[in-house]
Amino acid sequence: MWASSRESQLSGKQKQGKTGGLSDGFQPENFIPGLVIGFILGLFIDLSTKPFKGSSSTATKKNFLPGKPQQQNPDSSDGDNNRELKMVLVVRQDLKMGTGKIASQCAHASTGLYSELLQSDRLLLRRWEQCGQAKIVVTCKNQTEMNKLKEAAENIGLPTFVVADAGRTQVAAGSHTVMAVGPGPKSSVDSVTGKLRLL
């Protein structure tokens, strides 16, 4: 009697293992075909190319490759859309920051300005991305020169962002280390930063 009931319990467990549960659905022979089918459906159903409701834009989505200039829409009637855009990062030399510190402060400046523009001017960001997101790093002498550059940039409508350091490593807390100018038309940005020395 013990043997027959034990055999029925074992055969029941073996049947459960064969009929599967959730873990059987994730076997490679089931997962890979599902992935391929999903990819193919994704190619046919591309919802991202449809314009948003209320959008007057008829432009289609283009593939973006960082660092590679993108072709502009030849039908564009706005002269600004066909201009090359760039961002300039102005580093203070009087702080004598190390190479790694300068690199991280430049990253703070560019991402800080990018975050602000995501809220205020997405069209400018999109145009800059289509131009390859050009960034140039230059130097200024001190805080006074940086303040003058900031004022000049803002007077002609260029966006700016100044990094105030947290003071954890090489410079005092609150020190203004790097300023991002732009993105903006190359001629406008150069009118503010064109005479500064490259880093």
Considering only CA atoms, which of 122, 141, 145, 137 is closest in space to residue 181?
A: 137
127 contacts 78 by C-beta, under 8 angstroms: no
Q: What is the pLDDT of residues 50-88, one digit of tens each?
A: 444 443 333 333 333 334 343 444 334 445 444 799 999
How far apart are the C-alpha atoms of 159 and 116, rounded to whole Å? 9
Query: Tell me, what's the pLDDT at 97?
Result: 93
pLDDT of 137 strictly over 90:
yes
Q: What is the pLDDT of residues 85-106, one digit of tens each?
A: 999 999 999 999 999 999 999 9
How far apart are the C-alpha atoms of 179 and 147, rounded to whole Å? 9
CATH class of residue range 83-198:
alpha beta
Q: What is the pLDDT of residues 119-135, one digit of tens each?
A: 999 999 999 999 899 99
What residue segments make up the domains of the chain, in order of their start?
A: 83-198
